[in-house]
Amino acid sequence: MFTLAIVGRPNVGKSRLVNRLAGRHAAIVHDTPGVTRDRQVVEVDFDGMAFRLTDTAGFEDAAPGSLTARMTAQTEAAIAEADALLFLMDARDGVTAGDEIIAQALRRSGKPVIFAANKCEGRTALEEAVRLGFGEPIRLSAEHALGMGELAEALEEYIPRAVPAVEEEDDAGAQEEEYDYRDKPLRLALAGRPNVGKSSLFNQLLGEERSLTGPEAGLTRDAITAPWKLQAREVLLHDTAGLRKKAKVAGETLEEMSVASTLSAIRFADCVILLLDATAPFEKQDLAIADLIAREGRAIVFALNKWDLLPNKAGAISRFCEMRDRLLPQVAGAPLVAVSAKTGEGLDRLRTAIEEADSAWNLRIPTATLNRFLEEALKRHATPAVSGRRVRIRYMTQPKARPPSFTLFGNQLDALPDAYLRYLQNGLRDNFGLKGTPLRFALRNSRNPYDRR
């Protein structure tokens, strides 16, 4: 697919233009310069043209090794990967020294360049922009959707418009093929507290420096998406910002936007890797994030990062598994894997755990099999009696997967204690391998035929 990278100084409106072209909130937008740090790739369909759009950090001169220099390196990588470049300047500021530096870099790239000036809501003189060597810029306002037609005309030179497909009628006897969840890409998100190594693991899995990493906590601000392969399965891998406690985020607009982006990535995901610090796992914030993932109904895999820094590894996995089941019974038995994003240790085990959790999340159990399980479960542990009458479970079904959801039918089910539901839940996990996924229960009481109310 054709790739277009948007390049420009910080705060010229690149992310706002990405959102305008994508038609959705794909990137965080804020008045603070330097909000975008990693290169964000978004697939868009703009005016009948489908292409990949890369949002980049600002292009600035900086000391080697500094955060700004690492951000600029991400922009340079985006330029190298792109088929064409959209050079965006700020019409209000006019041509600056920073614009001239970027223009030189774009000319050296040898890539086609579309030149545009953002924030052209009013009359703005742009004659001096011609000296940058890309002709007169297209006048845009990403905020007010001005100049989008002119931009579409410029893009059409490089990206052909899609021809509408003609739908053909199916043969009368044709049968729809059975759906296989593995035919669609797996949406996989990395989540966790700040500075537990999410971006380092993201880069290790991709085999390239795709996200900024460093000792600074909170480097990642926006959820970054990149394609990945899990065996033969296509995967959309999301790196997310660290989730801090609400009290530390409240009132910080940029932090709140980063958290919102992470929450959106978790809700979009099929499976979430919850990254823990092996030297301090299952802290209060880890438990809150795991509970959030379970409430959203996503498959979950626990990854213990910084395993290489743990001084005493003997029996550690068993201890951590006991902590997981005791502190998070809603995801008891979920895969727990020791990894090191720095050395690559444990990545094969992590891949296997992801496949297992995704398989459990998509599992459907035949009704007959489910009720044989229920019959055996009731024999082993009868339901309690309420006011002299025993709670009766007649049968159960699984109306849906993703996550596996079960419906119990019977009498007085409202009085069924949580402990008994946990007993059934644990039995389902053990009998059908439903580990790594939350389970849902719905209770349906049979109508009393003698009740005339």
Q: Element (H or E) spanning 272, and its range?
A: strand 271-277
Sequence-distant (6+) residues with CB within 8 A of 222 are 27, 28, 35, 36, 37, 38, 40, 241, 258, 261
Stretch 250-260: mean pLDDT: 56
Give whole-number Cα distances, 311 to 224, 316, 321, in Å.
33, 10, 18
- CA 231 from chain center: how many Å? 20
The answer on pLDDT for 113 being more than 90 is yes
Model pLDDT, residue 215: 54
Do 3-156 and 367-445 share a fold? no
Closest CA to 102 of 82, 77, 76: 76
Q: Do 12 and 35 meet the contact criterion of CB atoms below 8 Å apart? A: no
The architecture (CATH level 2) of 367-445 comes to: 2-Layer Sandwich (3.30)
Say which residue the tokens 């220099």 belong to. 69
Q: Hey, what CATH class is 181-361 in?
A: alpha beta
**Cα gap 56→74, rounded to integer Å:** 7
Model pLDDT, residue 257: 59
Sequence-distant (6+) residues with CB within 8 A of 376 are none
11 confidence band (pLDDT: 50, 70, 90): confident
Model pLDDT, residue 246: 59
Pairing of strands 233-239, 224-230: antiparallel
Stretch 296-312: mean pLDDT: 94
Cβ-based neighbour number of residue 193 at 10 Å: 22
- CA 421 from chain center: how many Å? 31
Model pLDDT, residue 31: 47
Tell me which of 3.40.50.1000, 3.90.199.10, 3.40.50.300, 3.30.465.10 is the CATH number of domain 3-156: 3.40.50.300
Closest CA to 116 of 143, 147, 145: 147
Give whole-number Cα distances, 116 to 2, 132, 141, 284, 310, in Å.
19, 12, 10, 48, 52
Give whole-number Cα distances, 36 to 14, 78, 437, in Å.
9, 13, 33
Taking the CA atoms of residue 410, residue 414, residue 416 and residue 417 in that order, the dihedral angle to the nearest 10 degrees is: 160
The pair of three-digit structure tokens given for residue 174, joined into one six-digit string:
């044709």
Residue boundaries of the structural domains of the chain: 3-156, 181-361, 367-445
Lowest-confidence pick of 172-176, 267-271, 273-277, 389-393: 172-176
**Cα gap 238→257, rounded to integer Å:** 16
Model pLDDT, residue 126: 87
**Cα gap 322→362, rounded to integer Å:** 26
The mean pLDDT of the chain is 85
Cβ-based neighbour number of residue 68 at 10 Å: 18
**Cα gap 83→85, rounded to integer Å:** 7
Angle of helix 418-432 versus helix 367-380 axis, rounded to 10: 130
Helix/strand/coil for 127: helix
Model pLDDT, residue 180: 79
